[in-house]
Amino acid sequence: MSTLRRALAVAAVLALVPGAAGAGSPDKGLQEKIFAAFARIKSYKLTVLGQVRSLGVWVAPNRYQMTTQFEGKAIKTIIIGKNYWTFNKGRWEQSGEASSNLEVDIAGLIGNSRATKTPIARLPDQTQDGKRVGAFSYAFKSGTEETCNYDLRTYRVTRCKADELTLLYSGYNDPGNTVASPH
């Protein structure tokens, strides 16, 4: 697989930088509730919608497996920590390191917020799929922001949005959420 195709596959999966979002008020209480909810999360399903579509899973603490539709082909990738693999000719090949922009995924956003002590800002509640949900924004060090919706009862994130990218979350702690071993 060419270096350009690998780079595009990574970009298509999670490496898009979030766009500007609406301002909110920092809310330490909300942040702690979201942190507490995600401390109990061991896995989730992830759908990435943008110029391409990716489906995959995240498994704690830092494992992703994604399938991205690109140029009419399904490109399978695994990311463990910063190591990145692609599935090519029936086997996994190490393809270098993943971008630091994995921060836009909720696991990355939460880890970044903890490490930098950057607050989550509460936004007005919204309606998602006919249901009232909470909303927050998060400002990255670069100055860009991402907005996310969360379930008002469980504090699990259901959707995050950036300029041209939407990340949908489901299947929390489903035993079927697994990441293959690329070795």
In a domain, residue 175? The reply is no
In a domain, residue 183? The reply is no
Burial class (CB in 10 A: 0-12, 13-18, 19+), 122: middle
In a domain, residue 181? The reply is no
In a domain, residue 104? The reply is yes
Give residue 48's domain range: 3-170
pLDDT at 96: 85
Residue 156 phi, psi (nearest 5): -80, 135
Its pTM stands at: 0.83
- pLDDT tens digits, residue range 60-119? 999 999 999 988 899 999 999 889 999 999 999 998 888 755 777 899 899 889 998 999
CATH of the domain at 134: 2.50.20.10
In a domain, residue 67? The reply is yes
- pLDDT tens digits, residue range 127-156? 999 999 999 999 888 777 899 999 999 999
Q: Which letter, b or e, does each residue of 78-113 get, where b requires 16 or more Cβ atoms within 10 Å of its Cβ?
A: bbbeeebbbbeeeebeebeebbebbbbbbbbbbbbb
User: 168 and 57 in contact (C-beta within 8 Å)?
Assistant: no
How many structural domains is the chain composed of?
1
In a domain, residue 178? The reply is no
